[in-house]
Amino acid sequence: MDLKSVVKKLRQFADPSLAESWDNVGLLVEPTPPHEVKKVMLTNDLTEAVYREACDWNANLIISYHPPIFAPMKKLVQSNWKDRIITGCIENRIAIYSPHTSYDALAGGVNDWLLQAFDISSSKPVTQSVTSAGPYNKKLQLTISSTDRESILKCVSGIENTFTTVNELNKEFCEINVLCGSGTIPAILESTQCFCDKIQSTALFDIQKIPKSGHGMGRIGKLTSPISVSEAVERVKKHLGLAHIRLAKGIGCDSISSVAVCAGSGGGLLKNLNVSLYVTGEMSHHDVLHAAQSGVSVILCDHSNTERGFLKVLQESLTKVFQNQVDIQVSKSDKDPLDVV
């Protein structure tokens, strides 16, 4: 399957617009076409060990959950480990795609997988993903005389990347509504300049974003029945395949009836929520202290331990997406950089 087709399917599987605005998601390294993708390696972090594994396996594409290119790169030199990976992928014609927070927000994505440590009766995102109404974020509304309708409509309808509708107000007047992007507005106004004396009024509106059902950052889950804190700990350890995790027991928190999870770093998201337990990879000392003193228990598992297990689920999902046309393998070299010693 050619790379463009693969990327198209990846974007359909998880829309990059679900990602946080600060993130760097999508196709990060693109070899010159044509580029045929036969083997895809999945990893949480693209380290040199994972890169070597991908080369040995003759991978054509690496899907790295965390983007290996995040901060601006001013040079590519062999003294830097990330630079060595990027130049190596370019030289060996290995494409790199990163989904990161788009998979966090995705319904059925990383956070839904993390929540599966518990028996849940209902769940919802901590923060809801929103989307624009199509490719447009502005509506330009022109109120005109009905006798000028066709001539003005002809001018604005010819502008690219717009969608025009007409609303009849009464026998004398009508509204021409032009859906567009911010950059298209000057062209619309210029096209109607010769009709200035015929336009009764002009108004510009922001098109409100609408919730994207099921998608969003983090998850809040209501348990089917309350469990003890110790049972919650064991469930998380089993689900993540960990021998050790860290626990801050909330004051007066003797049982868990609801939980909020956030894969990776949850300090910014898991705050002042009406739940019994937070589960995440990492939080600052002060965030943990605040939660525990407020009666909320906290389980910390280290950052990538709350993400990596999803790769097996992703492998199955993408095998179906690509209809077995590509071979997909989860990296064996990928692991959390921290060990308990």
Strands 246-248 and 297-300: antiparallel
Q: Which amino acid is at 289?
A: L
Whole-angstrom distance between the N-terminal and C-terminal Cα of the chain? Answer: 45
Q: 91 with 24: CB under 8 angstroms? A: no
For residues 289-326, one letter each, b for 16 or more C-beta atoms within 10 angstroms of the residue's C-beta and e for the rest, the string is: ebbbeeebbbbbbbbbbbbbbbbeebeebbeebbeeeb
Q: Could you list the residues known to form a binding site, using ranges.
A: 66, 104, 303, 307
Helix or strand run (H / E) with residue 151: helix 149-157
Q: 27 with 89: CB under 8 angstroms? A: no
Closest CA to 66 of 110, 15, 5: 110
Chain-centre distance for alpha carbon 256: 29
Q: 53 with 332: CB under 8 angstroms? A: yes
Alpha-carbon dihedral of residues 129, 134, 135, 136, nearest 10 degrees?
-100
Q: 258 with 275: CB under 8 angstroms? A: yes
CA distance 25 to 18: 10
DSSP one-letter code for 2: B
Cα-only R_g, the chain: 25
Query: Structure tokens of 173?
Result: 């007047």
By three-state DSSP, how is residue 143 classified?
A: strand
Strands 255-265 and 219-228: antiparallel
Q: Could you list the residues known to form a binding site for a divalent metal cation, using ranges.
A: 66, 104, 303, 307
